[in-house]
Structure 1
Amino acid sequence: MLILDLGLRRGEVLGLRWEDVDLDGGELAVAFQLQRVRRQLLHRDQHRVV
C-alpha cells in the first residue's frame, strides 16, 4: 500500500523502521533503503520525509 499510495520504491519500503513512522504527526521519514548488490543486502542512508 505504501508503494501505491505514496509512490515509494520497493527498497525504501523494505528499509523502513518503526522509529521512522510518526503516526500522530502523519509523517513518514524515509531514512534508509534496502538494496541488493552482488547477492548481498545493503542498508543504505537516504533521507526524505513523506
Structure 2
Amino acid sequence: MTLGGKEVTVFRKGNQVLINGVKITQADNVARNGVMHTVNNWLVAPVL
C-alpha cells in the first residue's frame, strides 16, 4: 500500500520481483540513511 492509501501489486516470478509490473533489478542496496532498490522503469504514483 502506498502512503496515499492506494494498493500496489507485488508479483514474484521465479527469482524476479515486480511491483505494478516494474522489475526490481537490484535489491537491498544499503545506503547511509536506509535501503534502496533499483527498478528498470518508473513507478508512477496513482492519481489521488
Question: Does the TM-score normalized on the shorter chain lie above 0.5?
Answer: no
TM-score by length of 2: 0.29
Structure with greater helix share of residues: 1
Q: Which has the larger radius of gyration?
A: 2
TM-score by length of 1: 0.28
